[in-house]
Homo-oligomer: A and B are copies of this chain.
Amino acid sequence: MTRDRLEKVNANCNQSNHYQSDRYQQGLRKLAEIDGRAGEQVIESLKEIAPDLAQYIIEFPFGDIYSRPGLDLKSREIATVAALTAMGNAQPQLKVHIHGALNVGCTRAEIVEIMIQMAVYAGFPAALNGIFAAKEVFTERDI
């Protein structure tokens, strides 16, 4: 094997390793950037029972989706907080993403605005339960 061929193999290999590893590594970085300790705890809580689900969460939502360039992180968290508030059946994840929204630049007042707006689309109970989730997060962060 010539040195050229070897280097090409290495390059291909590194590229694909790099790509492969980027999905997970990139996901880990995004998860840390957005969700901080709250995200880590979710991953930790899956370690024994469903480690593959933990891996998918790092790879797909964070490595693939939140790493996409087409929409800024603050807008992404506004979308997620709105969706989880409207769905109303995922309070633990809503709390994680209220933390996330605050971590990437949303203010306390903006979170409250999103909750109030959801009264229009998902009803007042959804808005109220969103506000109560936000209240817990604001208390945890002492803001």
As for how many copies of this chain the complex holds, the number is 6
A contacts with B: majority SS: helix
Q: In whole angstroms, what is the CA distance A19 to B46 when docked?
A: 23
Query: Nearest residue in B to A11 (C-beta to C-beta)?
Result: B13
Interface size on A, as a range, is: 35 or more
Establish whether residues B114 and A68, one from each chain, have CB atoms under 8 Å apart when the complex forms: no
Q: In whole angstroms, what is the CA distance A14 to B9 when docked?
A: 9
- Closest Cβ of chain B to A33, distance in Å, is 16
Query: Nearest residue in B to A112 (C-beta to C-beta)?
Result: B50
Centre residue among A75, A110, A118, A134 by max chain B CB count within 10 A: A75
Establish whether residues A90 and B12, one from each chain, have CB atoms under 8 Å apart when the complex forms: no
Which residues on the B side are within 8 Å of A85 (C-beta)?
Answer: 83
A-B CB contact pairs (8 Å), 20 listed: A6-B9, A9-B13, A10-B13, A13-B14, A46-B128, A49-B112, A49-B135, A53-B131, A56-B119, A57-B124, A68-B116, A70-B109, A78-B78, A79-B82, A83-B118, A88-B89, A89-B125, A90-B126, A92-B125, A92-B128
In the A-B complex, list the 7 residue pairs whose CB atoms are closest, starting with the nearest: A13-B13, A90-B125, A79-B82, A83-B86, A88-B89, A93-B125, A71-B113
